């Protein structure tokens, strides 16, 4: 069995304030680190654009988007898998105002 390094177990938690912060999330993902994002600081329109942009970028690197619930997403690089009790949605339904 392969041992885990610190890089394998680190999850970055991010609270974007602008939809353009999606670029920061994509840069972290390029470093092969998972990112948990809470979208509570963004407007409804910015939330949708943010998720669209990051989801497109994550698709390009064969990663995965997991909707955790409410306004929280887990963006994963390709080498990270989620097991156990996961939400039934791999992506969120249309974002709504909270």
CATH of the domain at 15: 3.30.110.150
Range of the domain at 55: 6-76
Average pLDDT of 53-62?
93
- Cα 18 to Cα 4: distance, rounded to the nearest angstrom: 34
Whether 98 maps to a domain, the answer reads no
According to DSSP, the β-strands at 12-14 and 72-76 are: unpaired
Tokens of 89: 């949605």
Q: Look at the pTM and tell me if it is higher than 0.75.
A: yes
Whether 82 maps to a domain, the answer reads no
19-49 tens-digit pLDDT: 999 999 999 999 999 999 999 999 999 999 9
Whether 30 maps to a domain, the answer reads yes
Whether 68 maps to a domain, the answer reads yes
Task: Please check whether residue 40 is in contact with residue 68, taking contact to mean a CB–CB distance below 8 angstroms.
Answer: no
Domain count of the fold of the chain: 1
Beta strand segments in the chain, E:
12-14, 35-38, 64-69, 72-76
Whether 25 maps to a domain, the answer reads yes
Average pLDDT of 67-73?
90
Whether 59 maps to a domain, the answer reads yes
Place of tokens 């910015």: 46
Whether 27 maps to a domain, the answer reads yes
Confidence of residue 82 (pLDDT cuts 50, 70, 90): confident
Whether 86 maps to a domain, the answer reads no
């Amino acid at each position: 069995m392969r041992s885990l390094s610190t890089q394998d177990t680190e999850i970055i938690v991010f609270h974007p304030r602008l939809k353009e912060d999606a670029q920061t999330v994509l840069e972290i993902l390029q470093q092969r680190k998972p990112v948990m994002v809470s979208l509570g600081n963004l407007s409804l329109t910015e939330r949708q654009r943010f998720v669209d942009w990051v989801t497109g970028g994550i698709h390009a690197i064969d990663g995965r988007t997991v909707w955790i619930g409410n306004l929280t997403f887990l963006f994963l690089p390709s080498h990270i898998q989620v097991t156990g009790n996961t939400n039934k949605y791999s992506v969120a339904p249309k974002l709504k105002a909270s």
